[in-house]
Amino acid sequence: MNPDHQSLIDLANEARKRAYVPYSNYRVGAALRTKSGRLFTGVNVENAAYPTTMCAERVAVFKAVSEGEKDFEVIAVVTDNGGSPCGGCRQVLAEFGLDTIVLIANGEGKLVTQTTVSGLLPEAFTPKHLENR
């Protein structure tokens, strides 16, 4: 495995410890590296009003965008069982590039799947679909 990828998985796994999950107890951590080399982490944050819960992947993306970063290279997502990003997170990631590498790992830090956003969301609806409308 690429050592840079493993360090990103380790960062996501460490972030996962800070998840706020009093309802599901399903901790998710994400670590996003931009093409400029900056790192952003995210954790899932649950809420008693379930629809307002936020996923770790989107937290990392929103942190990056709020800091002026929109070109992503790779994101690592870690859960106990190597669960895959939800549809909403796939769509948010697609907004910023279908070629972003996605590393999905389990709680032991072992890579379960490596793909791209395009691989997770084939035929994604992207900003190009809104051109010349």
Catalytic residues: 57
CA nearest neighbour of 60 among 110, 111, 115, 100 = 100
Structure tokens at 44: 């899932």
What is d(CA 37, CA 11) in angstroms, rounded to the nearest whole number? 14
